[in-house]
A = this chain, B = another copy of it.
Amino acid sequence: MASNSKLAIAIHTAGMLAFGEQMPLTSKIIAESVDTNPVVIRRIIGNLVKHGLVEVKMGTGGGSRLTRQPREITLADIYLALEEGYIFNVPELEKSHCCPIGKVVRPVLKKFFGEAENGLIEKLRKITLQDILNDVRKELPEDFCMMENNG
């Protein structure tokens, strides 16, 4: 598992903001739900803000909320907002390296990996935050209210 849980945390975060409707949520509340530290959440929200998905209000009564409707936010938007770079790494070679294949393979692999990653992004683009919410709601008790139940 190479893995990177930022995307999961970011979606979870955005999902909670959606649940919270227009009521701003604090990084502390979200962090408790995700089971991590508020700073981790703030860092991720920073990326979402930078890409216009979320807006933040400072000070008392402040917190974050979505700038758009959940059906207008795709997982690709969130994925790209994280600016994590490429999934597959193509290792650098030493400058002294002299195998001609080694030198030539690198850009070729980069090209094909880029294509593959586009396939991933296309799929992510078809999934909206609303889809996530719908699935999550199915699993929650009907009378669930986040503000009361969160622990």
**Please, which residue of chain B has its CB at the minimum distance from the CB of A15?**
B105
Q: Chain A binding site: helix, strand, loop or mixed by DSSP?
A: helix
| A120 CB–B CB distance under 8 Å | yes
The distance in angstroms between the C-alpha atoms of A52 and B128, with both chains bound, is 39
Q: What string of 1s and 0s marks CB contacts (under 8 Å) between A82-97 and chain B?
A: 0011111111011001
The distance in angstroms between the C-alpha atoms of A140 and B94, with both chains bound, is 19
Count of identical protomers in the assembly = 2
A100 adjacent to B34 (CB under 8 Å): no
- The count of residues in chain A whose C-beta lies closer than 8 Å to any C-beta of chain B is 65
Please give the distance in Å from A132's CB to the nearest CB on chain B.
6
B105 adjacent to A136 (CB under 8 Å): yes
Which of A6-14, A42-50, A56-64 forms part of the interface with chain B? Answer: A6-14
A116 adjacent to B127 (CB under 8 Å): yes
Please give the distance in Å from A63's CB to the nearest CB on chain B.
16
